[in-house]
Amino acid sequence: MNPLLSRLQPYPFERLRQLFAGVALPADYSPISLGMGEPRHATPAFIKEALVASLGGLASYPATAGEPRLREACAAWLQRRYGVTVEPTAHVLPVNGSREALFAFAQTVLDPSGGDAVAVCPNPFYQIYEGATLLAGATPYYAPSDPARNFAVDWDSVPEDVWRKTQLLFVCSPGNPTGAVMPLAEWKKLFALSDRYGFVIASDECYSEIYFQGEPPLGGLEAAAQLGRTDFRNLVSFTSLSKRSNVPGLRSGFVAGDAALIKAFLLYRTYHGGAMGPAVQGASIAAWNDEQHVTENRALYRKKFAQVTPLLAGVMDVKLPDAGFYLWARVPEALGMTDAEFARALLAQYNVTVLPGSYLAREAGGINPGAQRVRMALVADTEECVEAALRIVQFIQSRT
C-alpha cells in the first residue's frame, strides 16, 4: 500500500461518529442535523429536465476537456458574475465537483522530489487540502485564522522560510467554516508573495453565491483582473454547482485561471479519468446559464440566517458571516465544556447535531484555532433550523 495513506487523519464526520458512539438519543425530540454542509434545498426542476434530456449522449466517451458549449457557459458566467473575460478553450476546464478537483490539482502542482515541498492552507480548513498535500508527498503548513478579523487568515504569521518552500497555497473565500471573505488588499498581498516565491494559488470559491450583504464576494480571478494580472499568473479558481444550484449529487464544477496550469491539469486529468459525463454536462450548461434560481436560493438562506442568528446570539458568541451557509459559534465558557463535549451533550439532550470546531483545524504553535467553537450548517428548511436554534438556546440556558 502507498505508505503516505498512513499520514491521513480521520475525516471530521468519522470523528463525529466516534464521538457520538453510545449516545442514547432522546425519544421526545426528532433528529435535526446541522453537522454536514450538504445543501438540502430542492434541486430546480429545469436542471433535472436538462439532465434527462442529455441522456442520449451516454453511448459515447466524453472528452476530458468537456464540450465546447459547457466551457463557453462557464466563461460566460465568469463574465456576468465577476466581469472577467477568459478564453474558454485556454482558461476553463470542467471538473467533477470542487472536492475532486482540489485533490487532483495538488497532485499536478506539487513536486516533492526536493524533499521539502510545502502547501500552505488556512486553519481551520477543508480537510481535502491537507489530504491532497500529504498524498502528493508534501508537507502542510497551517496558517491560523484571526478571530479579531472575523477569522480572516493571518498570512503575516507565516515565516519567510516556509514561504520559500511553498509550492501551493490553498485559499478559501468565502471561508469554510468561518464565512470570511478576502478583500482586494489581501489578494494583492498573496499575489506579491506568489510572485516573490513562485508558488501557485488554488482559490476555493464554492460558497461564492450564498452571501448576506448587497455586494457579492470578490473572486480570485476578479481580484487578479482588477490588479492588472489578466494572465491570471499562478492562479486557478475552483467553483461548483453544489451549493449554488443545490445539486451536490451532480458532482459538477469548473476550474479557471492560468492557461499553462490549466493545460497541465488537463494532461493530468486525461490520464486520471476526470471526464464529466454527457448528461451531467447538459445539466451543468443549463445551471450555469440561469441566475434566477440562484437568487431564489440565496433569499432562502438570508431568511433563515436572519431568524436563527439572533436567537443564538442571545446565548453564544456568534454573528452573521460574510457569506456561506455556516454559523461559527463559540461554546459559552460558563458551560465548562470543550467543543466536543458540547456537541455530544447537545445530541444526548436535544437530538441536535453540530460539528466541533476543533475537528476542522489542527494544533499549530500550541493552539487549535477551532477549539471551543462549533460549526452549524443551516442547510435544512427555515422551520427546522429555527427549531434547532431554540433547542440549543434551551440547552445552554438549562446548564448556566
Contact 205, 220 (CB under 8 A): yes
Report the pLDDT value the prediction gives residue 106, as an integer from 0 to 100: 98
- Contact of 73 with 289, CB cutoff 8 Å: yes
What pTM value is reported for the model? 0.96
Q: What is the pLDDT of residue 386?
A: 97
C-alpha cell of residue 57 = 449522449
Q: Measure the CA angle with vertex 138, ends 137 and 144; round to 5°.
A: 145
User: Identity (one letter) of the amino acid at 267?
Assistant: L
Residue 152: what pLDDT? 85
**10-residue block means of pLDDT along the chain (400 residues)?**
92 94 95 93 97 93 96 98 97 96 97 94 94 97 87 92 98 94 96 98 97 93 98 98 97 98 97 95 98 97 97 96 95 97 98 97 90 96 97 96
Amino acid at site 258:
D
CA distance 230 to 289: 24
List beta partners, residue 317.
330
Which runs of E-coded beta strand occur in the chain? 32-33, 92-95, 118-123, 139-146, 152-153, 166-172, 200-204, 235-240, 253-257, 326-330, 352-353, 355-356, 373-377
- Widest pairwise Cα distance in the chain: 63
Per-residue pLDDT at 365: 84
> Is residue 168 a contact partner of residue 119, using CB atoms and an 8 Å limit?
yes
Burial 213-225 (b: 16+ CB within 10 A, else e): eeebbbbbbbbbb
β 139-146/152-153 pair status: antiparallel
C-alpha grid cell, residue 285: 450548461
Give the bridge partners for 239, in sequence order: 254
Q: Which residues of 69-99 are buried (b: 16+ CB within 10 A; e: fewer)?
A: ebbbbbbebbeebbebebebeebbbbbbbbb
Angstrom distance (rounded) from CA 41 to CA 127: 24
Question: Other CB atoms closer than 10 Å to residue 240's CB: what's the count?
Answer: 27
3-state secondary structure of 172: strand
Nearest Cα residue to 354 out of 305, 307, 389:
389
